[in-house]
Structure 1
């Protein structure tokens, strides 16, 4: 058996073991009516080489788990990906990941397999989730030829839904952290940002239950309704 397998001569080169692990990855679970405190969520934060969704690369993944209404500190994920020839840029000043650290990182295919095994069939939460979702999906496609289909929920969208008295303008994570009196160890560090996002999400889920929104199905319904209202107002 050869060590590597090529997909149509264009896809990523993966070992047989990696192919088998990719094949064994769990499909995402369907949204259901279980109460929010009975759900398992993976809260994700990515650090990247920049903000260009077509050109920039994922440098680091940080994630924590919310399970049974609490952060499970026994389940955490942190990994820096190896990116050959990576050089310092403006983004380095933000996330602080030096080129030498990137050079010592984990092979992207291996790192992404480990992360998706960590995720399992759980939905994902992130702040400004659209960016993380698209960057992760592109990385998975490039490194594993894997199509990301997991559900993503955007904490930046959930927060104003449940806090209608907050200013109507778009607000960043720092502002919501301040509003809820949370502390963050180090901003723009994937694991620390994932942790504080998880803490914020738990506070928002508590608000959601008090407002009669106590399942992922109902949360998605409310978010969809809010998007439609916003779209109507913009016409």
Structure 2
């Protein structure tokens, strides 16, 4: 493959452009209660951790609505990736080359995902990684600019539980701390489900701290980030 071919933007057909134009834009974070907000909990399995080079291999998502996980609203896709190469990451996510070869068209999967998300904010553990990977995939395949707000449970957990000391804690650490257990780790759907369970616990803590709206929670999180940056001399 020549450098020119690699740099050339992907051609997006008119049918895809029309579907993209009908996608619902994100809603502003409101002052209504956390319970009254529809949330989408997202988890991605990827070919690696390089957000500029690696690929999204699987997507799992579940909805929190009316203060509970809505089991009727779940999303799961394995994506076909033409240039996918077997790497050590398969030991984590378990997605074999044959599973990727049998996956669905990334364009259709990403369009379906954005229809599923709608105007809702997104929750994820280590959300900046998922956000960057998803944003790049959407831009590459759909020419779509991701603007939905993401909340990172890896930040919300210590923010709302300052009495708990867990250094560089991962999802396993926080789920174990609250007595949760994933059915199968590094599976997008299973990870999304246990992340949703963790989110419900954290929302309960937020309400007790009078942070009972998406807007208030976001404002408190922004202040917490600034204090952390100042304390680390950034």
- Normalization by structure 1: what TM-score? 0.94
Aligned length in residues: 227
**Alpha-carbon distance in structure 2 between the residues aligned to 1:100 and 1:168:** 38
Match of 2:83 in 1: 85
Indicate conservation of the 8 Å contact 2:58/2:76, yes or no. yes
Whether 2:211 is the aligned partner of 1:213: answer: yes
For 1:182-193, what aligned pairs fall within 5 Å after superposition? 182-193=180-191
Sort the Cα spacing of 1:232 and 1:168 in 2 relative to 1 into closer, same or farther, 3 A: farther
Aligned-residue Cα RMSD (Å) equals 1.2
**Alpha-carbon distance in structure 1 between the residues aligned to 2:230 and 2:149:** 25
**Alpha-carbon distance in structure 1 between the residues aligned to 2:13 and 2:70:** 32
Match of 1:66 in 2: 64
Indicate conservation of the 8 Å contact 1:11/1:145, yes or no. no
Whether 2:35 is the aligned partner of 1:37: answer: yes
What's the CA shift for 1:10? 4.1
What's the CA shift for 1:15? 3.7
Indicate conservation of the 8 Å contact 1:36/1:205, yes or no. yes
**Alpha-carbon distance in structure 2 between the residues aligned to 1:203 and 1:133:** 23
**Alpha-carbon distance in structure 2 between the residues aligned to 1:234 and 1:114:** 41
For 1:45-194, what aligned pairs fall within 5 Å after superposition? 45-167=43-165, 169-194=167-192
Ranges of 4+ aligned residues in structure 1 off by more than 4 Å:
none
What's the CA shift for 1:84? 1.1
**Alpha-carbon distance in structure 1 between the residues aligned to 2:84 and 2:218:** 39
Q: Which blocks of at least 5 consecutive residues in structure 2 are unaligned?
A: 1-6
Once structures 1 and 2 are overlaid, which stretch shifts more, 223-232 or 133-142? Answer: 223-232
**Alpha-carbon distance in structure 2 between the residues aligned to 1:196 and 1:49:** 22
1:116-172 Cα shifts (integer Å, max 9, x gaps)? 000000000000000000000000000001000000000110000110111152211
